[in-house]
Amino acid sequence: MSALMVAAVLALGVQSPALGRDLCTIVADASTRAILHQEGNCETRGTPASTFKIALAVMGFADGILISSEVPKLPFKQGYADWGGAAWKEDATPARWMEHSIVWYSQRLAEAMGAERLGLHARNFGYGNADFSGDPGKNNGLERAWISSSLAISPLEQAAFLAALVEGTLPVSAEAMAGAMALVEEAGTVDGWRIFGKTGSAYPRNRDESFDRARGWGWFVGWAEKGGQTLVFARLAQDEERHPVSGGLRARDALVRDWAGLIRAAGL
Protein backbone atom coordinates (compact mmCIF):
# COMPACT_ATOMS: atom_id res chain seq x y z
CA MET A 1 0.00 0.00 0.00
CA SER A 2 1.39 3.40 -0.99
CA ALA A 3 2.17 6.15 1.48
CA LEU A 4 -0.88 8.04 0.25
CA MET A 5 -3.12 5.27 1.54
CA VAL A 6 -1.79 5.19 5.08
CA ALA A 7 -1.92 8.09 7.52
CA ALA A 8 -2.68 8.88 11.14
CA VAL A 9 -6.03 10.43 12.03
CA LEU A 10 -5.48 13.82 13.63
CA ALA A 11 -7.83 16.11 15.53
CA LEU A 12 -10.41 17.96 13.45
CA GLY A 13 -9.79 21.63 12.77
CA VAL A 14 -12.76 23.81 13.71
CA GLN A 15 -13.53 27.13 12.03
CA SER A 16 -16.36 29.60 12.53
CA PRO A 17 -19.88 28.15 12.30
CA ALA A 18 -20.57 29.91 8.99
CA LEU A 19 -17.62 28.20 7.35
CA GLY A 20 -18.04 24.93 9.22
CA ARG A 21 -15.08 22.71 9.90
CA ASP A 22 -12.34 21.23 7.78
CA LEU A 23 -12.63 17.45 7.96
CA CYS A 24 -9.38 16.90 6.06
CA THR A 25 -6.66 18.76 4.20
CA ILE A 26 -3.93 16.75 2.51
CA VAL A 27 -1.06 17.80 0.26
CA ALA A 28 1.26 15.23 -1.32
CA ASP A 29 4.06 15.04 -3.86
CA ALA A 30 2.62 13.57 -7.05
CA SER A 31 5.77 11.77 -8.16
CA THR A 32 6.93 10.28 -4.85
CA ARG A 33 3.46 9.93 -3.23
CA ALA A 34 4.98 11.39 -0.05
CA ILE A 35 2.46 13.15 2.16
CA LEU A 36 3.80 16.66 2.79
CA HIS A 37 0.96 17.97 4.93
CA GLN A 38 -2.06 16.29 6.48
CA GLU A 39 -4.59 17.36 9.05
CA GLY A 40 -7.90 15.86 10.06
CA ASN A 41 -9.55 12.56 9.23
CA CYS A 42 -8.41 11.84 5.68
CA GLU A 43 -9.22 8.12 5.68
CA THR A 44 -13.00 8.14 6.03
CA ARG A 45 -14.91 7.79 2.77
CA GLY A 46 -17.70 10.10 1.74
CA THR A 47 -19.62 11.11 -1.37
CA PRO A 48 -17.32 12.56 -4.06
CA ALA A 49 -20.10 14.78 -5.43
CA SER A 50 -18.89 16.75 -8.47
CA THR A 51 -15.22 15.98 -7.86
CA PHE A 52 -16.15 12.69 -9.58
CA LYS A 53 -16.25 14.63 -12.84
CA ILE A 54 -12.45 14.40 -13.07
CA ALA A 55 -12.54 10.60 -12.95
CA LEU A 56 -15.62 10.51 -15.18
CA ALA A 57 -13.80 12.65 -17.76
CA VAL A 58 -10.89 10.19 -17.82
CA MET A 59 -13.35 7.33 -18.27
CA GLY A 60 -15.22 9.19 -21.00
CA PHE A 61 -12.08 9.92 -23.01
CA ALA A 62 -10.78 6.37 -22.48
CA ASP A 63 -14.02 4.91 -23.88
CA GLY A 64 -14.18 7.27 -26.83
CA ILE A 65 -17.34 9.01 -25.61
CA LEU A 66 -15.56 12.31 -25.01
CA ILE A 67 -13.59 13.40 -28.05
CA SER A 68 -12.33 16.90 -27.19
CA SER A 69 -13.18 19.89 -25.04
CA GLU A 70 -16.00 20.70 -27.48
CA VAL A 71 -17.19 17.25 -28.57
CA PRO A 72 -19.71 15.84 -27.94
CA LYS A 73 -22.08 18.76 -27.62
CA LEU A 74 -25.26 17.45 -26.02
CA PRO A 75 -28.63 19.22 -26.03
CA PHE A 76 -30.47 20.12 -22.85
CA LYS A 77 -33.88 18.43 -22.71
CA GLN A 78 -36.91 19.08 -20.58
CA GLY A 79 -36.78 16.91 -17.48
CA TYR A 80 -32.99 16.99 -17.13
CA ALA A 81 -31.50 18.17 -13.83
CA ASP A 82 -31.75 21.97 -13.97
CA TRP A 83 -31.24 23.22 -10.40
CA GLY A 84 -27.85 24.66 -11.33
CA GLY A 85 -29.29 27.72 -12.99
CA ALA A 86 -29.34 29.04 -16.53
CA ALA A 87 -26.04 27.45 -17.55
CA TRP A 88 -27.56 24.01 -17.02
CA LYS A 89 -30.45 24.75 -19.40
CA GLU A 90 -28.23 25.17 -22.45
CA ASP A 91 -26.50 22.69 -24.72
CA ALA A 92 -23.30 21.47 -23.08
CA THR A 93 -19.83 20.55 -24.29
CA PRO A 94 -17.22 18.78 -22.13
CA ALA A 95 -15.66 22.16 -21.34
CA ARG A 96 -18.97 23.68 -20.26
CA TRP A 97 -19.83 20.52 -18.33
CA MET A 98 -16.72 20.87 -16.20
CA GLU A 99 -16.88 24.66 -15.91
CA HIS A 100 -20.51 24.75 -14.77
CA SER A 101 -20.52 21.33 -13.06
CA ILE A 102 -23.55 20.19 -15.07
CA VAL A 103 -25.11 17.14 -13.45
CA TRP A 104 -27.24 16.07 -16.41
CA TYR A 105 -24.16 15.84 -18.64
CA SER A 106 -22.56 13.52 -16.09
CA GLN A 107 -25.74 11.44 -16.14
CA ARG A 108 -25.64 11.09 -19.93
CA LEU A 109 -22.00 9.98 -19.77
CA ALA A 110 -22.81 7.49 -17.01
CA GLU A 111 -25.71 6.08 -19.04
CA ALA A 112 -23.47 5.71 -22.10
CA MET A 113 -20.94 3.69 -20.10
CA GLY A 114 -23.24 1.73 -17.82
CA ALA A 115 -22.67 0.69 -14.22
CA GLU A 116 -20.47 -2.30 -15.05
CA ARG A 117 -18.04 -0.24 -17.12
CA LEU A 118 -18.03 2.61 -14.59
CA GLY A 119 -17.25 0.16 -11.80
CA LEU A 120 -14.45 -1.48 -13.78
CA HIS A 121 -12.79 1.86 -14.45
CA ALA A 122 -13.19 2.96 -10.83
CA ARG A 123 -11.66 -0.26 -9.52
CA ASN A 124 -8.75 0.11 -11.95
CA PHE A 125 -8.28 3.70 -10.79
CA GLY A 126 -8.47 2.81 -7.08
CA TYR A 127 -11.37 5.24 -6.92
CA GLY A 128 -12.97 4.62 -3.54
CA ASN A 129 -15.45 1.80 -3.23
CA ALA A 130 -16.30 1.81 -6.97
CA ASP A 131 -19.99 1.30 -6.09
CA PHE A 132 -22.40 2.55 -8.75
CA SER A 133 -25.50 0.80 -7.43
CA GLY A 134 -27.14 4.04 -6.28
CA ASP A 135 -29.72 4.33 -3.54
CA PRO A 136 -30.92 0.97 -2.18
CA GLY A 137 -33.91 -0.30 -4.13
CA LYS A 138 -34.16 2.73 -6.43
CA ASN A 139 -32.11 1.62 -9.46
CA ASN A 140 -30.72 5.15 -9.83
CA GLY A 141 -26.97 4.54 -9.81
CA LEU A 142 -26.43 6.09 -13.22
CA GLU A 143 -28.28 9.21 -12.09
CA ARG A 144 -26.75 9.87 -8.70
CA ALA A 145 -24.36 7.20 -7.39
CA TRP A 146 -21.75 9.94 -6.86
CA ILE A 147 -24.14 12.40 -5.15
CA SER A 148 -24.85 11.46 -1.52
CA SER A 149 -25.40 7.87 -2.59
CA SER A 150 -23.43 4.63 -3.06
CA LEU A 151 -20.08 5.84 -4.46
CA ALA A 152 -17.69 6.88 -1.71
CA ILE A 153 -14.05 7.95 -1.62
CA SER A 154 -11.68 9.24 1.05
CA PRO A 155 -9.44 12.30 0.71
CA LEU A 156 -6.44 9.96 0.74
CA GLU A 157 -7.91 8.01 -2.16
CA GLN A 158 -8.67 11.25 -3.98
CA ALA A 159 -5.03 12.25 -3.64
CA ALA A 160 -3.81 8.84 -4.80
CA PHE A 161 -6.07 8.96 -7.88
CA LEU A 162 -4.94 12.49 -8.72
CA ALA A 163 -1.27 11.57 -8.33
CA ALA A 164 -1.71 8.70 -10.78
CA LEU A 165 -3.53 11.03 -13.17
CA VAL A 166 -0.98 13.82 -13.23
CA GLU A 167 1.91 11.34 -13.37
CA GLY A 168 0.25 9.51 -16.27
CA THR A 169 0.08 6.11 -14.59
CA LEU A 170 -3.65 5.36 -14.71
CA PRO A 171 -4.40 2.25 -16.82
CA VAL A 172 -5.76 4.23 -19.77
CA SER A 173 -4.14 6.02 -22.69
CA ALA A 174 -2.02 9.12 -22.24
CA GLU A 175 -4.49 10.93 -24.51
CA ALA A 176 -7.40 10.09 -22.18
CA MET A 177 -5.58 11.46 -19.16
CA ALA A 178 -4.43 14.59 -21.01
CA GLY A 179 -7.94 15.21 -22.32
CA ALA A 180 -9.43 15.04 -18.84
CA MET A 181 -6.74 17.23 -17.28
CA ALA A 182 -7.27 19.89 -19.96
CA LEU A 183 -10.88 20.29 -18.79
CA VAL A 184 -9.97 21.04 -15.17
CA GLU A 185 -10.01 24.75 -14.44
CA GLU A 186 -7.22 26.82 -12.94
CA ALA A 187 -8.31 28.22 -9.57
CA GLY A 188 -5.50 30.71 -9.10
CA THR A 189 -1.77 31.28 -8.70
CA VAL A 190 -0.14 31.61 -5.28
CA ASP A 191 3.60 32.24 -4.84
CA GLY A 192 4.23 30.87 -8.32
CA TRP A 193 2.10 27.74 -7.80
CA ARG A 194 -0.62 27.30 -10.44
CA ILE A 195 -3.56 25.59 -8.75
CA PHE A 196 -5.99 23.43 -10.74
CA GLY A 197 -8.96 21.63 -9.29
CA LYS A 198 -12.61 20.64 -9.10
CA THR A 199 -15.16 21.53 -6.48
CA GLY A 200 -17.88 19.27 -5.14
CA SER A 201 -20.91 19.94 -2.94
CA ALA A 202 -23.49 17.58 -1.44
CA TYR A 203 -25.69 17.08 1.61
CA PRO A 204 -26.08 14.22 4.10
CA ARG A 205 -29.35 12.29 4.15
CA ASN A 206 -31.78 12.50 7.05
CA ARG A 207 -33.61 9.40 8.22
CA ASP A 208 -36.63 10.36 6.10
CA GLU A 209 -34.32 10.55 3.03
CA SER A 210 -34.54 14.36 2.88
CA PHE A 211 -31.27 16.31 2.70
CA ASP A 212 -29.73 17.97 5.73
CA ARG A 213 -28.96 21.32 4.13
CA ALA A 214 -27.40 22.72 7.28
CA ARG A 215 -24.54 20.20 7.21
CA GLY A 216 -23.43 20.30 3.59
CA TRP A 217 -20.08 18.94 2.47
CA GLY A 218 -17.62 20.90 0.38
CA TRP A 219 -14.74 19.37 -1.57
CA PHE A 220 -11.89 20.89 -3.50
CA VAL A 221 -9.41 18.46 -5.07
CA GLY A 222 -6.71 18.87 -7.67
CA TRP A 223 -3.06 19.63 -8.23
CA ALA A 224 -0.59 22.52 -8.18
CA GLU A 225 2.44 23.07 -10.41
CA LYS A 226 5.60 25.10 -9.94
CA GLY A 227 9.07 24.77 -11.40
CA GLY A 228 8.66 21.22 -12.58
CA GLN A 229 7.16 19.98 -9.30
CA THR A 230 3.55 18.86 -9.02
CA LEU A 231 1.65 18.48 -5.77
CA VAL A 232 -1.79 16.94 -5.38
CA PHE A 233 -4.28 18.01 -2.73
CA ALA A 234 -7.71 17.34 -1.31
CA ARG A 235 -9.75 19.39 1.10
CA LEU A 236 -13.09 18.29 2.56
CA ALA A 237 -15.15 20.54 4.83
CA GLN A 238 -18.59 20.26 6.39
CA ASP A 239 -20.94 23.06 7.34
CA GLU A 240 -22.52 23.51 10.73
CA GLU A 241 -25.32 25.77 9.48
CA ARG A 242 -26.97 26.48 6.15
CA HIS A 243 -25.00 28.77 3.85
CA PRO A 244 -26.03 30.57 0.63
CA VAL A 245 -22.73 29.73 -1.14
CA SER A 246 -22.00 26.09 -1.93
CA GLY A 247 -19.53 24.23 0.23
CA GLY A 248 -17.39 23.33 -2.76
CA LEU A 249 -16.87 26.93 -3.82
CA ARG A 250 -15.97 27.92 -0.27
CA ALA A 251 -13.60 24.93 0.07
CA ARG A 252 -11.87 26.05 -3.14
CA ASP A 253 -11.51 29.64 -2.03
CA ALA A 254 -10.26 28.61 1.40
CA LEU A 255 -7.68 26.21 -0.04
CA VAL A 256 -6.33 28.87 -2.39
CA ARG A 257 -6.25 31.37 0.47
CA ASP A 258 -4.42 28.86 2.70
CA TRP A 259 -2.03 27.58 0.04
CA ALA A 260 1.00 29.67 1.01
CA GLY A 261 0.70 28.50 4.61
CA LEU A 262 0.24 24.87 3.58
CA ILE A 263 3.35 25.04 1.45
CA ARG A 264 5.35 26.54 4.30
CA ALA A 265 4.08 23.83 6.63
CA ALA A 266 5.23 21.26 4.08
CA GLY A 267 8.72 22.74 4.11
CA LEU A 268 8.63 23.99 0.51
Phi and psi, residue 62, nearest 5°: -60, -35
**Cβ contacts of 205 within 8 Å, gap of 6 or more:** 148, 211, 212
Any idea what the Cα angle at residue 160 is, between residues 157 and 165, rounded to 5°? 125
Helix boundaries (H) for 92-154: 94-100, 103-125, 141-144
Sign of CA dihedral 262, 224, 186, 248: negative
Which candidate in 50, 106, 150, 246 is catalytic? Answer: 50
- Answer yes or no: 101 catalytic: no
Phi and psi, residue 165, nearest 5°: -65, -55
The angle that helices 52-62 and 174-183 make with each other, rounded to 10 degrees, is 140
Catalytic site residues? Answer: 50
